[in-house]
A = this chain, B = another copy of it.
Amino acid sequence: MVERLVVIGGDAAGASAASQARQRRGPDDLEIVVLERGRHTSYSACGVPYWVGGLVSGADALVARAPEAHRERGLDVRLGSEAEGIDLDKREVAVRDVHTGAADRIGFDQLVIATGATPVRPPVPGIDAPGVYGVQTLDDGQALIDALDPAYTHAVVIGGGYIGIEMAEAMKLRGLDVTVLDRGAQPMSTLDPDMGVLVHEQMEEMGINVVTHADVRAVETGPDGRVRAVATAERSYPADLVVLGTGVRPATGLARDAGLPLGDSGGIRTDLRMRVWGGDPRHEGVWAAGDCVEVLDLVSGRFRHIPLGTHANKQGRVAGMNIGGDYGTFPGVVGTAVSKVCELEIARTGLRESDADAAGFSYVTAVIESTGRAGYYPGAQRMTVKMIAERVSGRLLGVQIVGRDGAAKRIDVAAVALTARMTVEDVTALDLGYAPPFSPVWDPILVAARKAAQRLAQS
């Protein structure tokens, strides 16, 4: 008998799950229906800032696999199909055509929930006015690009996290004066403030205005109803365009309504194979992946919501492998993230000081400055590395990097070391690649580990 897999959501996680299942089970064995409410599949939302900034030619470039390509591989991709409910007893999904409004129900044997995340809009007056743009989807990006007008001079970005700073770069590339409003003590709150301040200073040097402790009270509109400024508690910032970089929350309405378990972080809780958690027999054959799930933080042992395309792809693949009859797991994350604003590279993995405090760790910190190449090699530029290590055990807990020219991807060394639960002493001995164009003889990560080890000895 042919089983039917229904996948809700055709972006990174959903499409990966569907593809991996199809690679392992043919159409005679498994029918695969992908419900996507939008017009696109398998696209890089992370690429939107670069498209808006003009570095990427068009939306097509961001589409890894278009609906037609999925169909050629035997997936029944239904665009404009919005799932409205999951009935675990009848094993059906209620579907509505977003264009015609027509309702339908589709039965499933296996179900993948890949509903993604929903942008958070600050609840202030004017936030929905024309001229305010999110940048979560290709349609968002297109709307912003269509709106760009040579007469515009000021852009305000609300939120100084990674989307915010990437959009600040994009607006700057478009020739606009850019102001970033962040409510925290420093932008990039995924870093400790002593590292975030480096980002702040260097963004200012690049000519991007960064306002911290910004309490956004309203988006002000002109007589035409369009945005003209953003008001904080202190003052008003002129704005021809407003971009929202205020983060997302997991889109779990369907799952919650169906009685599926959500974790403390608000995301759907799954097991290692991406099966929805819990012993309820009605959960059999129900999987979830991508920005709608929570992930295990391997360093703190806590569950977190970390919406990132790379996790979504991995989780989707794992779900699809298991649905396809193979065995695969997504063991968790260590919290790695890299980003850039113009030439400045920013990276972090593991715990910040506040995370380590919350988890109950006692720790030491070390901050060092080094360069990405041998100091004498042309183009060598400074980077700052902060390392956090547990007292007594010496276990590596987290690393943050701010710098240029090869700074960001150095975080990967720390990510692997965290996964392997190495001590900073272990890290000092790592056999990392050395040649003058690529590293000083002591790689910055090793220098930081040496200093952390010293701090441990003194602690």
Contacts and interface: CB of A to CB of B under 8 A. Distances in A.
A202 interface: no
Nearest to A58: B376
A106 interface: no
Contact of A433 (B61, B314, B331, B347): B347
A415 B433 contact: yes
Contacts of A335: 431
A425 to B, nearest CB: 8
A187 interface: no
A88 interface: no
A347 B347 CA distance: 23
A366 interface: no
Interface of A: 12, 44, 46-47, 50, 55-56, 61-62, 64, 162, 308-311, 313-314, 326, 329-331, 333-340, 345, 347, 349, 374, 376-378, 406, 408-413, 415-417, 419-420, 422, 426, 428-439, 441-443, 457
Contacts of A431: 310-311, 333-336, 349, 415, 419
Contacts of A430: 412, 415-416, 419
A308 B433 CA distance: 10
Contact of A441 (B44, B162, B334): B44
Nearest to A313: B441
Contacts of A437: 50, 340
What 7 A-B pairs come out closest when comparing CB atoms? A420-B420, A338-B433, A310-B434, A416-B416, A61-B376, A333-B431, A336-B431
A374 B337 CA distance: 15
A425 B61 CA distance: 30
A308 B434 contact: yes
13 contacts: A12-B441, A44-B376, A309-B441, A313-B441, A313-B442, A330-B429, A338-B435, A349-B431, A349-B433, A409-B410, A409-B433, A412-B433, A415-B432
How many identical subunits does the complex contain? 2
Contacts of A330: 429
B433 A336 contact: yes
Contacts of A415: 430-433
A340 B47 contact: no
Contacts of A12: 441
Nearest to A308: B434
Contacts of A406: 406, 409
Nearest to A414: B416
Contact of A435 (B339, B378, B435): B339
Contact of A47 (B50, B311, B347, B376): B376
A398 to B, nearest CB: 13
Contacts of A56: 376-378
Given A44-B376, A336-B432, A338-B433, 11 more contacts: A44-B374, A44-B441, A47-B436, A55-B378, A56-B376, A336-B431, A349-B431, A406-B409, A412-B413, A412-B432, A419-B430
Contacts of A416: 413, 416-417, 420, 422, 430, 432
Which of A62, A331, A334, A431 has the largest number of chain B CB atoms within 10 A? A431
A374 to B, nearest CB: 6
Contacts of A412: 410, 412-413, 430, 432-433, 443
Contacts of A349: 431, 433
B331 A429 contact: yes
Contacts of A422: 416, 419-420
Contact of A377 (B50, B310, B333, B339): B50
